[in-house]
Amino acid sequence: MDTPLSSFIATTGTGQRTKMIPDDPTPRDQAIYVPSLPPGFCKDIYAKNWSRALPKGVTSDDLNILDPKGKLLRLSYVMTSAGQALNQTQPCIITNRNRDSSVVLVDSGGYQTATSGLMVTTNAQRQKLLTWQESVGDICLSLDIPTGPLMDTSKAYVCATQRECLTKTIEHLDYWQRHHTPGKVRWLSILQGNDQRFADVWYRETMKHADFCNGVAFAGLLRHNFDHVIGRVLQMAAENRLQGMSHIHVLGTNELDVAVMLTAIQRAINKWINPNLRISYDTGAPSKILSWNKIYSLPRFDGTSMTMQSVEAPDGPAFLNSTRRWPWPSPIGDAMLMKDFVVRPNKPNARYRDTLSNHMMVHHNIGSLCAGIALANRVFDVQIANQQHQVGREVGAAIEAVERIFASGGSHAVFSKLKGVFTLLRHGKKIDAGDDLRDLD
């Protein structure tokens, strides 16, 4: 017989509360998009040392997306990773932020260290990473060895099997449990596994060593599989774990359908199980796509899909000194002319832009993606209310299934009947080892 999930609330309480941000731009009942910021972007904007004048009407403080007084784009949640920033000693907008108005998620850099052959193996290495995470972050991900890269046989990897990844991850978890500073940050234990069978093993084994953690982070190949994610959430609730958690994070995703699904899951958890838990998700895509000379343009919605479209970034001598407006909307794009982005290169065959151009384009991409996510949530708020899914019908059906599953008290029978709806969301989605953007920027 299924045990109603709501029955656990009275006996376990509601868990640790997430820090409340004044005038948080992300509504409290929505999952939070967390851009992963490249160190150069963070350092240069803090230093305010530009090789040319900023565009008219824009200050360096306006470029700081963590400044609550900034006139352009203000975010309350961002991510940084030890894979890029561990040895970065210069002050930046993350290290010198107002901690009352921001939350920084800190990734351990497990992917980068494991794929570059620099795996953390000694206690001195672990302590350096742990100390850095606690000094920088508010929510931190414990060190893991991802299983996803095992699927890419073209590259050398520090582990040969999923079991070896798990064994080394548990060694890290044990160190973190013994040496973390209680109450300084909130810790998330990372859930890996390339298939459902081993994902179950990973969850079972790592949770024995994660008593110090306030939540979990879904990573790897199964993180887009909502039948897997929801099944694990229901399992954590049935085991009386979810009720004491403050946070769930999903690594390496920013798709619009994923955004509204995670909002639906958070709302169901808040309504039926734990009113204080937040869900977040991240990518480094705004900076990564620029390395391919891509920028975000407009979201595209139709009856079956929601996508954030990208186009080639304007480039070339035709735009030098051009007073044409930047073509694509964003907080910074709406204030810019083409000459603000396109400048003469300082070496042959280079792009017609400089460091300031690149940072402003990353700023544009972050703002454009955040606007697309906000619009997707607005559309689905209305569609859910009137039950008329003209946009993303498969996502709409999945959101309705989420509510029915949680309203049933997490009934195994209801979940088994409805979980097939979630597999439709995988159509057309690339899910492989390279799809996890934790190694980008």
**Residues 6 or more apart in contact with residue 322 via CB below 8 angstroms:** 337, 338, 339, 342
Which pLDDT score is estimated for 249? 97
Q: Rounded to an integer, what distance in angstroms lies between the CA atom of residue 281 and that of residue 249?
A: 5
Put the strands of the sheet holding 139-141 in their side by side order.
32-35, 278-283, 247-250, 215-218, 186-191, 139-141, 103-107, 77-81
Q: How far apart are CA 138 and CA 371, in angstroms?
A: 25
Look at residue 262 in the predicted model and tell me its pLDDT: 97
Rounded (5°) CA angle 348-349-351: 110
Instruction: Identify the pLDDT of residue 145.
Output: 93
User: Which of the residues in the chain have pLDDT under 50?
Assistant: 1-16, 427-441
Residue 199, pLDDT score: 97
What distance in Å separates the CA atoms of residue 266 and residue 269, rounded to the nearest whole number?
Answer: 5
Helix 355-386 vs helix 256-272: angle between axes, to the nearest 10 degrees? Answer: 50
- pTM of the full predicted structure? 0.91
Give the other-Cβ count within 10 Å of 154's Cβ.
4
| Pick from 76, 108, 33: nearest CA to 296 | 33
- First vs last C-alpha separation in the chain: 48
Quote the CA–CA distance of 120 and 127 in Å, as a whole number: 10
Confidence (pLDDT) at 89:
86
The pLDDT tens digits of the residues spanning 161-183 come to: 999 999 999 999 999 999 999 99
- Which of 441, 438, 440, 439 shows the shortest CA–CA distance to 218? 438
Closest-CA residue to 17 (of 179, 139, 191): 139
Interatomic CA distance for residues 395 and 376, integer angstroms: 11
